[in-house]
Chain A
Amino acid sequence: MERESLATAAGNPEQARAWDASGRGAGCAFLRREPLARRRSAVVVDAGATGLRAAQCEVVRRRVRLRDVLRHRWSASPADESGAALPLCRIARAPLQGDFAGDAVTLLLSPPTVQFHALSVPDAVLQQPPDRLHDALRLEVSREARVEPGDIEVRHWLLPSGHRQRMNVMAISIPAALVRGWVDSLAEQAVCLRGVLPLPCAHVRAVCTRFAPAARELWGLLDLGAARSTFTAVIGATPCYVRNLSAATQAWRQRLASALDVDAERAGDLLFQYGLSEAHAQREAEYELRRVLADLLRDPLNDMVRDLERCFAYLLQSYGELEAGRIFVAGGGALVPGVCEFIELLTGMRTEPIARGDERGDLAFDVTTAGAVGGALLEVDCP
């Protein structure tokens, strides 16, 4: 197959057939054995800095419905930067709560636990059998991450064509020992770790339930979390650029707490109650408070928007013929009133939170549970 046709496969029926045939994309088809039956439901857990979100989707009469959603807030942040301290006990209890059913969970992980690597792979390598291509990518990623090839798990997908620096593969990696430890720990608690998915892909899947992007449409996805933020540039439905941002709601809360001389919890309440938008103010005092909060957070917000603009500028430089369309915001930071309007005002791009009402009665999620629901949809999409 020619390189051009491989690279453009992400948005065309051939790629779709490849993903349908392999279930997990061309990169790891050889790793799986065909299951006995198509998966009918999936429990996906998104363990973030502030809490745990779990969702279960199931296929009922050829339709996907959301079986249950769980939101649990940590009393103290349990996860460190590497993700090694995932609250596995609480994750193992997730399928036992509410209306959940099953004994297998899928974890959602975001950077830096999962590393994203945009690679330029020669045509000759792309034409190799999948296992050889996988070995080559593992070698390339291990060299870039400065680890032994056997110490990491690597998966990949093809990037859309047109990258001027000839980046044609997006590889993701994670320490293999870390995942094996999770598998063993969960197995001790009678829970099967069925999969480990990158959170940006789950967010993209959630967005695709309410927005059908064109194959060559460029849009952004900002996961505004408590401890860190991640920006994902997406062409069509393929994440093609992932970058960590410095913006984080915990930092904003600390900034407000020190400026207003209140504790962090009170600052958080003010932030999430009044936010940044002056347009929503009902009274003069409220207007003043929102303006003060916006002034106090103006610098970090401007930094965040500048990072976003740099990312889009890089993407537009790499894919010259594309045009940035819109930005979706996920994570707890999207609950801050006015943050989407602020981004939209400065970037000029339509910005809206990832949320889907239940007007159709089958799937509903908000900015915090979008990742878990999207991951569950990804799981039931693939056998």
Chain B
Amino acid sequence: MIRPAVNVPSVSLVPAACCRARARDQHARAWALAVLAASLILAGLFATRVTSRQAVGELASRLAYAETGRSAIQQQLALARRDQQTLSARMLVLAGLVRDQHWARRLAALLAAAPDEIVLTGLRLEPVGDAAPAEKPAAASAPATTAARETLRPAAAPRPVQLVRVSGQAGSNEVLQRFVSALRESGAWAAVSMQQLTVVEGAAAGWLTFELECRPREIDP
């Protein structure tokens, strides 16, 4: 700034009242501007707050709606899981019924294969080795875990594998052979083996007491 080495007198002849009025106007204008600016800032803050509050309310309502939806979906999932468990239990029962009918057919065929000179005196089922115990529909009350669901599947359930021991008396050896051959040819058994064969004492000649072991195909497919 170019300033003189010594100050030049600078005096204004504008009356003091005019100076005061001008200063008052300047201050009033400055205050008005300040108040206006503050009002604008406050209005902006208020608008922002209202807008944000509306946005928060809207988000909260959306969240509550989503929570409601989640609860409904969870209820539906629980119902579906319960239905699945019920259906699994029913399937197990049906599977058991199917197995029972299978054995019935098998035993009926066994009886039908016996000639007239054969008298069956006993029929016994024996479990084979470490085979699982006879299946029970206990899965219906099992927890609905993944492992439990796996055990509930009919295909994966351990089949009850049993040997059939048939005891009886035969009129002759040929009749007994014919009975064994009929059993082997019936296809229901993997193997039919003679376990015991004795001659009945005191009876007519040729009467034999026998015991056969029939291995179902589940053992030796």
Closest Cβ of chain B to A352, distance in Å, is 18
Chain B stretch 2-24: residues in CB contact (< 8 A) with chain A: 2-16, 18-20, 22-23
Question: A213 interface residue, CB < 8 Å from B?
Answer: yes
Q: Tell me the complex Cα distance, A114–B12, Å.
A: 11
Please give, as numbers and ranges, the residues of chain B lying within 8 Å of A192 by CB-CB distance: 22
Please give, as numbers and ranges, the residues of chain B lying within 8 Å of A213 by CB-CB distance: 5-6
Contact between A381 and B22, CB atoms less than 8 A apart: no
Contact between B20 and A24, CB atoms less than 8 A apart: no
Q: Tell me the complex Cα distance, A245–B184, Å.
A: 159
Please give, as numbers and ranges, the residues of chain B lying within 8 Å of A238 by CB-CB distance: 6, 8-9
Please give, as numbers and ranges, the residues of chain A lying within 8 Å of B8 by CB-CB distance: 201, 204-205, 208, 237-238, 378, 381
Q: Tell me the complex Cα distance, A59–B10, Å.
A: 18
Question: A239 interface residue, CB < 8 Å from B?
Answer: yes
Contact between A155 and B23, CB atoms less than 8 A apart: no
Q: Tell me the complex Cα distance, A194–B15, Å.
A: 10
Question: B105 interface residue, CB < 8 Å from A?
Answer: no
Please give, as numbers and ranges, the residues of chain A lying within 8 Å of B109 by CB-CB distance: none
Partner of A193, one of B2, B3, B18, B20: B18
Contact between B11 and A25, CB atoms less than 8 A apart: yes
Q: Tell me the complex Cα distance, A59–B13, Å.
A: 24
Contact between B15 and A153, CB atoms less than 8 A apart: yes
Contact between A179 and B14, CB atoms less than 8 A apart: yes
Q: Tell me the complex Cα distance, A172–B10, Å.
A: 11
Stretch at the interface among A10-18, A45-53, A252-260, A339-347: A10-18
Please give, as numbers and ranges, the residues of chain A lying within 8 Å of B23 by CB-CB distance: 32-33, 35
Contact between B11 and A201, CB atoms less than 8 A apart: yes
Please give, as numbers and ranges, the residues of chain B lying within 8 Å of A155 by CB-CB distance: 11-13
Q: Tell me the complex Cα distance, A201–B5, Å.
A: 15
Contact between A19 and B9, CB atoms less than 8 A apart: yes
Contact between A63 and B1, CB atoms less than 8 A apart: yes
Contact between B11 and A237, CB atoms less than 8 A apart: no
Please give, as numbers and ranges, the residues of chain A lying within 8 Å of B9 by CB-CB distance: 10, 19, 25, 157, 170, 201, 237-239
Contact between B4 and A237, CB atoms less than 8 A apart: yes
Contact between B11 and A381, CB atoms less than 8 A apart: no
Per the CB 8 Å criterion, the residue count for chain B at the interface is 24
Question: A20 interface residue, CB < 8 Å from B?
Answer: yes
Closest Cβ of chain B to A154, distance in Å, is 8
Q: When A and B form their complex, what is the total count of cross-chain residue pairs whose Cβ atoms lie within 8 Å?
A: 126
Contact between B26 and A36, CB atoms less than 8 A apart: yes
Question: B132 interface residue, CB < 8 Å from A?
Answer: no
Contact between B2 and A64, CB atoms less than 8 A apart: yes
Q: Tell me the complex Cα distance, A170–B30, Å.
A: 36
Contact between A36 and B11, CB atoms less than 8 A apart: no
Query: Closest residue of chain A to B30, judged by CB?
Result: A36
Closest Cβ of chain A to B190, distance in Å, is 110
Partner of B18, one of A59, A157, A174, A180: A180
Closest Cβ of chain B to A177, distance in Å, is 9
Q: Tell me the complex Cα distance, A25–B30, Å.
A: 26
Contact between A236 and B1, CB atoms less than 8 A apart: no
Closest Cβ of chain B to A29, distance in Å, is 10
Q: Tell me the complex Cα distance, A64–B2, Å.
A: 7
Partner of B2, one of A25, A31, A174, A377: A377
Query: Closest residue of chain A to B6, judged by CB?
Result: A237
Contact between A212 and B5, CB atoms less than 8 A apart: yes
Contact between A193 and B14, CB atoms less than 8 A apart: yes
0/1 string, A133-159, CB within 8 A of B gives 1? 000000000000000000001011100
Query: Closest residue of chain A to B27, judged by CB?
Result: A36
Q: A32-B19, A33-B20, A33-B23 are contacts. A183–B14 as well, Cβ < 8 Å?
A: yes
Please give, as numbers and ranges, the residues of chain A lying within 8 Å of B2 by CB-CB distance: 64, 209, 362-363, 377
Query: Closest residue of chain B to A211, judged by CB?
Result: B4
Q: A32-B19, A36-B30, A63-B1 are contacts. A382–B10 as well, Cβ < 8 Å?
A: yes
Please give, as numbers and ranges, the residues of chain A lying within 8 Å of B3 by CB-CB distance: 381
Partner of A19, one of B1, B10, B15, B19: B10
Contact between B26 and A381, CB atoms less than 8 A apart: no
Q: Tell me the complex Cα distance, A307–B165, Å.
A: 162
Contact between B27 and A62, CB atoms less than 8 A apart: no
Contact between A24 and B6, CB atoms less than 8 A apart: no
Q: Tell me the complex Cα distance, A157–B6, Å.
A: 14
Question: A301 interface residue, CB < 8 Å from B?
Answer: no
Q: Which of B2, B19, B22 has the most CB of A within 10 A?
A: B2
Closest Cβ of chain A to B48, distance in Å, is 30
Can you offer 25 A-B residue contacts whose CB atoms are under 8 A? Answer: A24-B12, A32-B23, A33-B23, A157-B11, A172-B13, A176-B15, A179-B13, A183-B18, A194-B12, A195-B12, A195-B13, A197-B12, A198-B13, A201-B8, A201-B10, A205-B4, A205-B8, A208-B4, A208-B6, A209-B2, A212-B4, A237-B7, A239-B9, A363-B2, A378-B10
Binding site for B on A (CB under 8 A): 10-11, 15-16, 19-20, 23-25, 27-28, 31-33, 35-36, 59, 62-64, 106, 109, 114, 153, 155-157, 170, 172-174, 176, 179-180, 183, 192-198, 201, 204-205, 208-209, 212-213, 215, 236-239, 362-363, 377-379, 381-382
Closest 7 CB pairs of A and B: A208-B4, A155-B11, A195-B12, A157-B9, A196-B13, A33-B23, A237-B6
* Other A-B pairs, 7, CB within 8 Å; known A25-B10, A209-B2, A237-B6: A15-B7, A63-B1, A172-B13, A208-B8, A209-B4, A237-B4, A382-B10
